[in-house]
């Protein structure tokens, strides 16, 4: 019933949504939290012991208004399912090696960096005017290295929407995640499709996929290597207002994927730019299942496209 009501609302709204408009911001209040809690999964899909998740929500670049809603949504689905204890933070000290050990997985929540360096750690560290830039950049590289080692040694990493730009100029981060951000056209209604309807991480969705209002992301750098297992995609020909001279009229672009890195697990998911999307119970289930995947609770096909 939750699914039927949501998709009926989305279908009506999409018909009236003009390409290039933005959805109105939603107040993060008790009423909104109660709505999401009522829609959230009541139990975990995959049996597992309760684990600890860090949802990291610092941005130094573009401020997605949905950041606090996303953090709250993650806390809610962790609580209602009983699968996770979720801690929120904006303190880069969490990426010290000793602190990362406290968590089974880390979620980067729209952690957009500034366009000049595209390095979130550098952006924050350079606020300290008492230290020279060489020292600060060395520390920024250390924190990035800590995250890479954390995943290599068995930690989980989920990156949501704009979090792809966290270390966007770093090839090491791009390969860890599977892509770097290139650009996005204006917000529009997107038909998100399932790469493999039988994959356990997309069982939340109907086989035909779902309609979703968002910024359709296009990628660069490690994305060309296709070193990941895709979960969701859109057809390029259906996307309006693509970059002039680079329009893609065939093929697909992936919206979410997973990959193994050493002993760890990584997942990227582009939805969503808007808190309204969290009123889709299927998407809440997808996020919860993804959290379980990166926390090591799910055995599934991770074979990358390139293989």
Q: Residue 307 falls within a domain, yes or no?
A: no
pLDDT of residue 1: 56
Provide the residue-wise pLDDT of the chain in tens; the chain has 307 residues.
556 555 545 544 554 555 666 799 999 999 999 999 999 999 999 999 999 999 999 999 999 999 999 999 999 999 999 999 999 999 999 999 999 999 999 999 999 999 999 999 999 999 999 999 999 999 999 999 999 999 999 999 999 999 999 999 999 999 999 999 999 999 999 999 999 999 999 999 999 999 999 999 999 999 999 999 999 999 999 999 999 999 999 999 999 999 999 999 999 999 989 999 999 999 999 999 999 999 999 999 999 998 6
At residue 282, the 3 state secondary structure works out as helix
Q: Residue 96 falls within a domain, yes or no?
A: yes
**Using CA of residue 124, residue 130, residue 133, residue 134, what is the dihedral sign?**
negative
Q: Residue 178 falls within a domain, yes or no?
A: yes
pLDDT of residue 4: 55
DSSP class of 242:
P
Domain that holds residue 198: 2-12+28-294
Q: What is the CATH number of the domain that holds 236?
A: 3.40.50.880
Distance between CA atoms of residues 151 and 194, nearest Å: 26
DSSP class of 17:
P
Specify whether the CB–CB gap between 86 and 74 falls below 8 A.
yes
Distance between CA atoms of residues 98 and 86, nearest Å: 18
pLDDT of residue 76: 98
pLDDT of residue 11: 47
Distance between CA atoms of residues 217 and 184, nearest Å: 5
Distance between CA atoms of residues 182 and 236, nearest Å: 15
pLDDT of residue 306: 86
Host H or E run for residue 160? strand 156-160
Specify whether the CB–CB gap between 271 and 70 falls below 8 A.
no
pLDDT of residue 22: 79
pLDDT of residue 15: 46
Q: Residue 20 falls within a domain, yes or no?
A: no
At residue 233, the 3 state secondary structure works out as strand
For the entire predicted model, the pTM comes to 0.94
pLDDT of residue 272: 84
Distance between CA atoms of residues 247 and 226, nearest Å: 20
Q: What is the dihedral of CA 166, 170, 173, 179, to 10 degrees?
A: 80
Distance between CA atoms of residues 61 and 76, nearest Å: 26
Q: How many domains does the chain have?
A: 1
């Amino acid at each position: 019933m939750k699914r039927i009501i949501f998709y009926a609302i989305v279908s009506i709204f999409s018909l009236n949504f003009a390409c290039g408009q933005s959805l109105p911001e939603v107040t993060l209040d008790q009423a909104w939290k109660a709505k999401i809690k009522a829609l959230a999964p009541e139990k975990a899909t995959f049996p597992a012991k309760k684990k600890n998740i860090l949802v990291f929500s610092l941005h130094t670049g573009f401020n997605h208004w949905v950041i606090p809603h996303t953090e709250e949504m993650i806390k809610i689905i962790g609580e209602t399912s009983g699968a996770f204890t979720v801690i929120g933070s904006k303190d880069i000290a969490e990426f010290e090696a000793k602190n990362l050990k406290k968590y089974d997985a880390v979620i980067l929540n729209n952690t957009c960096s500034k366009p000049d360096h595209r390095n979130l750690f550098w952006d924050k560290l350079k606020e300290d005017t008492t230290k020279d830039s060489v020292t600060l950049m060395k520390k920024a590289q250390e924190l990035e290295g800590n995250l890479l080692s954390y995943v290599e040694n068995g930690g989980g990493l989920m990156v949501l929407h704009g979090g792809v730009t966290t270390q966007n100029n770093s090839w090491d981060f791009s390969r860890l995640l599977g892509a770097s951000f290139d650009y996005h056209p204006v917000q529009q209604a997107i038909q998100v499709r399932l790469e493999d309807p039988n994959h356990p991480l997309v069982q939340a969705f109907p086989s035909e996929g779902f309609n979703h209002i968002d910024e359709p992301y296009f990628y660069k750098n490690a994305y060309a290597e296709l070193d990941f297992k895709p979960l969701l995609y859109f057809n390029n020909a259906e996307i309006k207002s693509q970059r002039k001279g680079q329009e893609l009229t065939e093929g697909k672009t992936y919206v979410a994927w997973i990959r193994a890195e050493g002993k760890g697990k990584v997942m990227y998911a582009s939805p969503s730019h808007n808190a309204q999307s969290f009123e889709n119970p299927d998407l809440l289930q997808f996020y919860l299942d993804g959290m379980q995947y990166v926390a090591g609770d799910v055995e599934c096909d991770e074979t990358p496209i390139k293989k």
